[in-house]
Amino acid sequence: MMSGRTIRVLELRSVRGTGGGPEKTILFGAARAAADIDVLVCYIRDQRDTTFSLGQRAAQIGVNYVEVDERHSIDPKVIPQLAQLIKDRGINLVHAHEYKTDLLALWLARRTGVVPLATAHGWTGQSPRERFVYYPVDKFLLARYPRVIAVSTDIKNQLVRFGARAERVSVILNSIDPDAFKRSAERRAAVRLALGCADSEFLIGAVGRVEQQKRFDLLLEAMAPLLKARPHLKLAIAGDGSLLASLRAQAASMNLGRQCLLLGHRQDIADLHQAFDLFVQSSEYEGTPNAVLEAMAMETPLVATDVGGTAELAFDGIHGLLVPCRDVPALRDAITRALEDPDATHRRAVAARRRIEDDLSFDARTRKLEDIYRELVHA
């Protein structure tokens, strides 16, 4: 630690609905901050968003939290509100987390003198405006930051290609609390009963927002022949999103029936893992996926596509089975391997849990991030 002086950090993010993986990192990081780091979490909330629930989640874990309301997606009135918040709370550093707050943090740095920092979680949207306007502009802006945290080496490389200086981009992989995500044999029976899953059935699980990035449509294609050939198999997908109705229609057209459970949004992911016998990620793009971290921590055997930071979390053949994205036969073959060699599958799951405890714990990640806070502010 460079000084006993308290560093006041504003974690700044804009998101709709229930958010995603970054929310876990932001909220739990704030809850576990070191004694010399005072964190205020601020979310910009669209007044039209009726499903927003980050305030409740923050209150549950005792995080210092505030919201700034906006009337629509681009509301200039949030800028003076944020500037006043920085002044009133004596903020030293603003930590931004997506393209809107990346722009705001730079603006606030010029207006108030705070230090700007950004974490690049990835660029997952598929709309033309996001792909051809917002994301290129965001990468251009991030190249002007004194420091950026990338959640995978792939994201760092993208930023460097857009002009960021490599020495100013630090890779800190996402991580997880191994104590909060731990398998419990006592919980398994109750969770499976609630899902309507018998002891004799083998439950394959998937978790994530039902959007193009996750390619749950390809997961259904990979699973359909296996479900028909093996009546004891079941597939459960937990998550909500704009493609949920389409996914339901696809499952119905494939006549998957009760073997395919589309659970919608769930907050009990750790409980669901108590019921899962195998976890599958079918994404075509990821930053560093929290869903994979959760599976590894819960000792749920893993099959995943080797996209983004996934291959930096789980090593193929050691912690799980990794396959190329958009390759349905390869995904199906890996699932089959996991089913047909349970001993090897179990060994990989145990090794994955060990990696979480040794290298990917949430406390270790938080300490690395706080060292960057200290370096930037005291410089």
Could you give the C-alpha distances from 30 to 2, 147, 195, 367, in angstroms and in order?
20, 20, 33, 12
Confidence class of residue 379 from pLDDT cuts 50, 70 and 90? Answer: confident
* pLDDT (0 to 100) of residue 212: 93
Q: What pLDDT does 145 receive?
A: 98
Residue range 277-321, pLDDT digits in tens? 999 999 999 988 999 999 999 999 999 999 989 999 999 999 999
| Residue 140 sits in the same domain as residue 63 | yes
Q: For the segment 2-50, what is each residue's pLDDT rounded down to a tens digit?
A: 446 899 999 999 998 888 888 989 999 999 999 999 999 999 999 999 8
- Cα separation, 202 vs 180, in Å, equals 25
Whether residues 169 and 28 share a domain: the answer is yes
The predicted pLDDT at position 4 comes to 60
What confidence tens digit (pLDDT) does each residue in 45-75 have? 999 998 898 999 999 999 999 999 999 888 9
Residues 189 and 138 in one domain: no
In 3-state terms, what secondary structure has residue 37? strand
If asked whether residues 164 and 201 sit together in one domain, one would say: no
Report whether 187 contacts 274 (CB < 8 A).
yes
At residue 322, does pLDDT exceed 80?
yes
Mean pLDDT over the full length of the chain: 95
Residues 235, 279: contact at Cβ < 8 Å? no
pLDDT digits (tens, 9 = 90+) for 158-199: 999 999 999 999 999 999 999 989 999 899 999 999 999 999
In a domain, 322, yes or no: yes
Measured in degrees and rounded to the nearest 5, phi and psi for residue 12 equal -120, 125
Q: Residue 2: its pLDDT value, please?
A: 42
Q: Quick one: 170 and 27 in the same domain?
A: yes
| pLDDT for res 3 | 47
Q: For residue 213, is pLDDT > 50?
A: yes
Is residue 95 exposed (0-12), middle (13-18) or buried (19+ Cβ within 10 Å)?
Answer: buried
- pLDDT for the residue 44: 96
Note whether 52 and 70 are same-domain residues.
yes
Those residues whose C-beta lies under 8 Å from the C-beta of residue 110, and which sit 6 or more positions away, are: none
What number is the average pLDDT over the span 75-84? 95
**Number of structural domains, the chain?**
2
pLDDT tens per residue across span 250-265: 999 999 999 999 999 9
- Dihedrals phi, psi of 47, to nearest 5 degrees: -60, -20
212 lies in the same domain as 128: no
220 located within any domain? yes
Other beta carbons within 10 Å of 103: 16
Confidence of residue 126 (pLDDT cuts 50, 70, 90): confident
* Entry pTM: 0.85
pLDDT at position 124 is: 81
Cα–Cα distance, 39 to 61 (Å, whole number): 13
Q: What is the pLDDT of residue 19?
A: 82
Question: Is residue 46 domain-resident?
Answer: yes
**287 found inside a domain:** yes
Statement to judge: residues 198 and 257 lie in one domain:
yes
Are residues 229 and 84 located together in one domain of the fold?
no
User: Which ranges in 12-115 belong to alpha helices (H)?
Assistant: 21-31, 54-60, 78-89, 99-112
Mean pLDDT (whole number) for 119-134: 89
- Could you tell me if residue 14 is inside a domain? yes
Domain that holds residue 65: 7-175+361-378
**What integer pLDDT is reported at residue 24 of this predicted model?**
86
| The two structure tokens encoding residue 116 | 């700007």
CATH of the domain at 42: 3.40.50.2000
pLDDT tens figures, 267-279: 899 999 999 999 9
129 occurs within a structural domain: yes
The yes-or-no verdict on residue 1 having pLDDT over 50 is no
